[in-house]
Amino acid sequence: MSVVLLPGKRSVLAQNDQDETQQSSDRGTSGRDATSGREAEVSSSKDTRIDLSPPKDDAKNHPDSGSAVMDSEGESENSDVDEMHPWDPHKAAKDMEVGDYYFKRKNYRGALERYKDALTYKPNDALANFRLAECEEKMNNPTDAAQHYEAYLKILPHGPMAAEAQKALEKLKATASK
């Protein structure tokens, strides 16, 4: 139904609303009360409850289901999952971006922490390992730098910075032997 409003004319919709209001006041109830009463008759909380209890023969049909529930809750002693790590590549990328900013500003401590955070959110990130190794090298931590260069080479042995990582490793090993 479309309503056209002309200046000085009453709309058809407004006239219909007045007629309904008049009829409901003649009955002694408002239109709102009548509709809410109808809704109350249709809906009942008892009808919308969900039964979460297990079926009658569940324990007999699924004898080991109790251990599966305990495994999912993390309370089992023989669980092979020790710790959960968050995996969020978007946060890792943001941490890499901020780490690069700090690295360019020669704030190696800030960059180091951001690269570590990136590895928390994305553990096997080759670029984060390489940049972390560069920071460790700048902060004069050769053993940690060597570990991260090796991690980069383990992930991407023929990657774009593999030659640079190999050179840095050789340099670190040469200075460590002196």
> Full-prediction pTM beyond 0.75?
no
Buried b (16+ CB within 10 A) or exposed e, 131-144: bbbbbbbeeeebee
Q: What is the pLDDT of residue 23?
A: 53
C-beta neighbour count of 174 within 10 angstroms: 9
Domains of the chain and CATH, by start: 89-177 (1.25.40.10)
Task: Tally the C-alpha atoms within 13 A of residue 130's C-alpha that lie toward its C-beta.
Answer: 20
Q: What is the pLDDT of residue 30?
A: 47
CB distance 118 to 125 below 8 Å:
yes
Q: What is the pLDDT of residue 12?
A: 47
pLDDT tens across the length of the chain (178 residues): 555 555 555 544 445 555 555 555 555 544 454 454 555 555 566 667 777 777 888 778 877 766 665 555 555 455 565 667 688 999 999 999 999 999 999 999 999 999 999 999 999 999 999 999 999 999 999 999 999 999 999 999 999 999 999 999 999 999 888 7
Instruction: Tell me phi and psi for residue 155, to 5 degrees.
Output: -75, -50
